[in-house]
Structure 1
Amino acid sequence: MGNHPSEPGLNMGNNPSRPGLKLGKILSDADITELSVLSGFTPEKVREWHAGFIKDCPSGKLNKKKFVEVYKQFYPTGKAEKFCEYIFRAFDNDSSGSIDFCEFLIAISITAQEEPKKKLEWAFSMYDIDRNGFIEKKEMKKIMEAIFDLLGEEKKGTNTPQLKVDQIFTRMDVNGDGKLSKDEFISGCLQDDYLRRLLAPSAS
């Protein structure tokens, strides 16, 4: 689906989709312009991604299996399947089991970009599996296990997903309620480069 994007921007707040943007197999100039603004990609790059998307997904919808197959190419080392499944879930807002081109483009844009705060806002939505506005330890442990696989980390001794989660909550859970709010998560990551790199791995 085209080459890996380079440092796109992002101008769409916290919502990874754009309600009302209905895309067909052929994009109008207005569609191209809006997608370019949403994703930060140039109009030419949007057209390139769309051509590849429609070629691979003639229906205009990308299911989880195909998404993981495409997306794991951005993480050539380690086992990326499980992590990519969580990425897919974060962008499948209506839990339909598929995402459209707009959602796909935004997913690529967010995970490839360099601006920490916007990337962390997306990462929070991925960790908040039940979408209740907080990250609980059991949720973070599931994602942490996927990150260990993604990075090829050995799970033994003092280096296990559970211990990492305990350490993260010790640092981030400011009010001690056993769960992380979005503010606690983002603030904690912005103050700690190691946690930011660990909790929001960049596509390579």
Structure 2
Amino acid sequence: MGNNTGAPGFKLGKTLTEADVIELSTLSGFTPEKVREWHSGFIKDCPTGKLNKKKFIEVYKQFYPTGKAEKFCEYIFRAFDNDSSGSIDFCEFLIAISITAQQEPKKKLEWAFSMYDIDRNGFIEKKEMKKIMDAIFDLLGEERKGTNTPQLKVDQIFSRMDTNGDGKLSKEEFISGCLQDDYLRRLLAPSAS
């Protein structure tokens, strides 16, 4: 059977039982038919029922052929890999897809926060945000010059979001800052716009 996932005590094999489909439908908000469709595609691409980091990066790079996607992909992969197993099982994949596909910006921002909180301590420090900004610049092939540098972007983000001035962003500061500032939302969580 598979690893523990975001659902407590939920184990998942390569084949789905009807109970699995119902539980995944409830967790993800997708219809049972859509769950089966996603599962079929996932197993076709990942016959072992697991998506490893190498395969994930290989697939993701296709969307950014001119950029350097590896670093950014590592952060996305870590956010998808809820149980830190080093692979993404179908449940983790489906939950991540459901979050990125839904309309509610707050859920997308919560997921974005989990990607930026590299050390998973519940806060985004400047050094973490700098790593992410470097990865975004690499991914998009952005030129680093003048006022367009990762460090300046980090400084702008923190000056707008770090409302208590403690040098780190809580989940609440991050979400609130993104919801109140279109520029920051587009920069940090484009799918939440």
Whether the TM-score (by the shorter chain) exceeds 0.5 is yes
Question: Structure 2, unaligned stretches of length 5 or more?
Answer: none
Checking the alignment, whether the CA contact within 8 Å between 1:16 and 1:106 is kept in structure 2 is no
Cα pair distance change 1:114/1:68, threshold 3 Å = farther
Separation in structure 1 between the aligned mates of residue 86 and residue 3 of structure 2, nearest angstrom: 21
| Residues 178 and 203 (structure 1), Cα distance of their counterparts in 2 relative to 1, 3 Å cut | closer
CA gap 1:150/1:96 in 2 versus in 1, 3 angstroms: same
Q: Which runs of 4+ in 1 moved over 6 A?
A: 12-16
Backbone CA RMSD of aligned residues: 3.5
Whether contact under 8 Å (2:105, 2:192) holds in the other structure is: no
Deviation at 1:166, TM superposition (A): 0.2
Separation in structure 2 between the aligned mates of residue 28 and residue 154 of structure 1, nearest angstrom = 50
Per-residue Cα deviation, 1:112-137 (whole angstroms, up to 9, x for no partner): 33321111111111111111111100
Shifted more, 94-103 versus 16-25: the winner is 16-25
Gap change, CA 1:203 and 1:74, over 3 Å in 2: farther
Question: In 2, distance between residues paired with 1:177 and 1:129?
Answer: 18
* Change over 3 Å in CA distance of 1:100–1:151 after alignment to 2: same
The alignment-based identity, stated in percent, is 90
Structure 1 residues 24 and 14, CA gap change in structure 2 (3 angstroms): closer
Is 2:97 the counterpart of 1:104? no
Bigger shift: residues 149-158 or 185-194: 149-158
Q: Deviations over 1:95-152 (max 9, x none)?
A: 2211211001112222233321111111111111111111100000111112223333
1:193 maps to which of 153, 177, 182: 182
Q: Which of 1 and 2 has higher RCO (CA within 8 Å, sep 6+)?
A: 1
- The answer to whether the 8 Å contact 2:110/2:171 transfers is yes
Q: Which has the higher helix share?
A: 2
Matched-pair contact (CA < 8 Å) for 1:16–1:91: no
